[in-house]
Amino acid sequence: MIEFPRDPQNVIPTSSVKIVGLGGAGTNMLDRVALDGLDGAELLALNTDIRTLSSSVAKDRIQLGRNLTKGLGTGGDPELGHQAVLEAEDEIRATLKGRKIVFICVGLGGGTGSGAAPIVARVAREEGAFVVMFATMPFGFEGRRRREQAETALNELAVLSNALVTFDNSRMGELVLAKQGIHEAFAAADRMISESIKAVIRLVVRPGLINVGLDDLMSALRTTRSRCLFGSGIARGKDRAQKALRNALASPLLDQGALLKDAQTVLVHLCGGEDLTLFEIELLMESLSKHVPEKAQVLFGAAVDPGMTDQLSITLVSSLPEERLRRTMPEGDYRRVSPALEPSVGFAADEDEDEEEVVVPEAAAKADTSVSPAEVEEFTGFTPVEPQARPAMEFVAAPEPPKDSEDEEDKEEASQEEPEELADLPDLDEEEEALPAKARESEMPFAETDPVAREEVKEVASEELPEKPRKEEKPSVEKELFKPAKPAGQGELSFDGGPKGRFEGADPSVMDGEDLDVPAFLRRKR
């Protein structure tokens, strides 16, 4: 067992941490964090939609746009979201006063979150807080408008936040089986985000043997336009160090550890009970070194939490610049697993900023940050090791580019080639297109409850889904006559060549000079 004196000056009390849930998605994420249990940190819910706001478990709640939207959402309009938050700016400022770290959870793409997040980030920064933004990007099927709104907000947040961690909803949808509904996909995404938030909070607020500070966190994540790599695993019992590492590497955001091989800085944080041994730490770090490049800077932190007897947790945080991400995965893969990463996502940190030294009272050392058995189960739920428990859509690692070839063309071909395994997977876009518009509509929770969003969804379903290019085929009389009314965005049924609509060999039914076997709408056109 390692005996180590604690330095209470180096930790941040949970009371100086505020977690803000913004908009519908943000409030859901916040509720998830609260329900999963995070002692001490204060929760604040901000929303225009009074119904969602009032059902939040957060103790502090502020309604945005009291006069402007009068308790309703913004209907997907970020400008309304922007105006609405300005109405409540003073109230928000008052509640963020004196906080050292403010975590903001938001789903980008709608009106409230996308329009208000930059203002909330600015206010928190003005109050001297270190701002970590957790933002989700919309599912690919939500349409171009939401994607564009999300990207605009993301670019603003990249400048305003100290750290911006993005989660791609499409990517996290892979955590659930393809046949499960969209509700499960959102729930899986929320659980993942909740775990990430809690792990990051544990990193910076837990009294440590070897502390990880905000500056370490920043340098692990510091690069512009990059994707956050994050993995967290926990295990107990025999071989817990190896198991915890395996669980962390299995995180979908690390692609089974494959993405770490290009990382420049990796932040590693270990936490165990009082039975944590130096041997375990060494073992774990040795195993990890196989996944991390030799030149990478490894920032290491460790903490002992008496509540974690028999357990060991490991958290890995890093970032991968966008162009490296593209190199690691061929273009096809990249879009397939993460369409919302196009064209920009990521983390941004203020390079020039001089970080204030955080001085914290002694009480901080007593902050309760124990991990419950339920949490352990939750973690292992995300990182199943049994093949049957894996998500149906699984990332397949990119093939290695040819080593000796100098020929640029060869290299390009190799990077564009689709691996064999991928060729068998259904194409997400095609699959989505193949869904009837109705089915897609009914899968969207926000469309069920929000009439404006419902209209948007219909709009997307009817306008934005491109028609599949059809093969050249000979026009036939039957096809021309009985062309089915084409539902927007849906693939067209092919008809066989047999006669349709008229019984073979039967006389035509003619009345008043009109052939009744010809559909009425065609007769009218004549």
Ligand X SMILES: Nc1nc2c(ncn2[C@@H]2O[C@H](COP(=O)(O)OP(=O)(O)OP(=O)(O)O)[C@@H](O)[C@H]2O)c(=O)[nH]1
Residues annotated within a binding site for GTP: 24-28, 111-113, 142, 146, 190
Q: Which residue has the tokens 């939609």?
A: 49
The answer to whether residue 321 forms part of the interface with ligand X (CB under 6 A) is no
Query: Is the Cβ of residue 13 or residue 21 nearer to ligand X in the bound state?
Result: 21
Return the residues of window 41-60 that contact ligand X according to CB under 6 A. Answer: 48
**By CB under 6 A, which span of 107-115, 199-207, 266-274, 361-369 interacts with ligand X?**
107-115
CA angle 54, 58, 61 (to 5 degrees): 55
Q: How far is the CB of 23 from ligand X (least distance, A)?
A: 3
Q: Is the peptide bond before 343 cis (omega within 30 degrees of 0)?
A: yes
Q: How far is the CB of 110 from ligand X (least distance, A)?
A: 2
Q: How far apart are CA 5 and CA 516, in angstroms?
A: 94
Query: Is the Cβ of residue 136 or residue 338 nearer to ligand X in the bound state?
Result: 136
Query: Is the Cβ of residue 75 or residue 339 nearer to ligand X in the bound state?
Result: 75
Q: How far apart are CA 446 and CA 186, in angstroms?
A: 11
**Listed residue (181, 36, 193) closest to 106, CA to CA:** 193
Binding mask 165-204 for ligand X (x = CB under 6 A): ----x----------------x--xx--------------
Question: How far is CA 147 from each of CA 141, 424, 484, 521, rounded to the nearest angstrom?
Answer: 10, 28, 32, 39
Distance from chain centroid for Cα 233: 18
Q: Which of residues 65, 110, 118, 489 is near ligand X by CB under 6 A?
A: 110
Distance from chain centroid for Cα 450: 22
Binding mask 422-461 for ligand X (x = CB under 6 A): ------------------------x---------------
Query: Is the Cβ of residue 417 or residue 448 nearer to ligand X in the bound state?
Result: 448
Distance from chain centroid for Cα 215: 24
DSSP 193-256: HHHHHHHHHHHHHS--SB---HHHHHHHH--SSEEEEEEEEEEESTTHHHHHHHHHHT-GGGTT
For residue 300, which phi and psi values (nearest 5 degrees)? -120, 135
The answer to whether residue 65 forms part of the interface with ligand X (CB under 6 A) is no
The annotated binding site is made up of 24-28, 111-113, 142, 146, 190
The answer to whether residue 382 forms part of the interface with ligand X (CB under 6 A) is no
The answer to whether residue 136 forms part of the interface with ligand X (CB under 6 A) is yes
Q: How far is the CB of 107 from ligand X (least distance, A)?
A: 2
Query: Is the Cβ of residue 75 or residue 321 nearer to ligand X in the bound state?
Result: 75
Return the residues of window 80-99 that contact ligand X according to CB under 6 A. Answer: 81
Q: Which of residues 10, 63, 112, 318 is near ligand X by CB under 6 A?
A: 112
Query: Is the Cβ of residue 6 or residue 454 nearer to ligand X in the bound state?
Result: 454
Question: Binding residues for ligand X, how many (CB under 6 A)?
Answer: 26
Q: How far apart are CA 500 and CA 511, in angstroms?
A: 20
Q: Which tokens go with 246?
A: 């395996």
**Listed residue (499, 498, 500, 518) closest to 508, CA to CA:** 518
Q: How far is the CB of 260 from ligand X (least distance, A)?
A: 25
CA angle 404, 406, 409 (to 5 degrees): 120
The answer to whether residue 76 forms part of the interface with ligand X (CB under 6 A) is yes
Q: Which residue has the tokens 């609260």?
A: 34
Handedness of CA 435, 77, 31, 205 (dihedral sign): positive
Q: How far is the CB of 172 from ligand X (least distance, A)?
A: 7
Q: How far is the CB of 122 from ligand X (least distance, A)?
A: 17
Q: Which of residues 99, 100, 146, 324 is near ligand X by CB under 6 A?
A: 146
Q: Are 299 and 203 in contact (CB under 8 A)?
A: no
Q: Tell me which residues touch ligand X (CB under 6 A).
A: 23-25, 28, 48, 73-76, 81, 107, 109-113, 136, 138-139, 142, 146, 169, 186, 189-190, 446
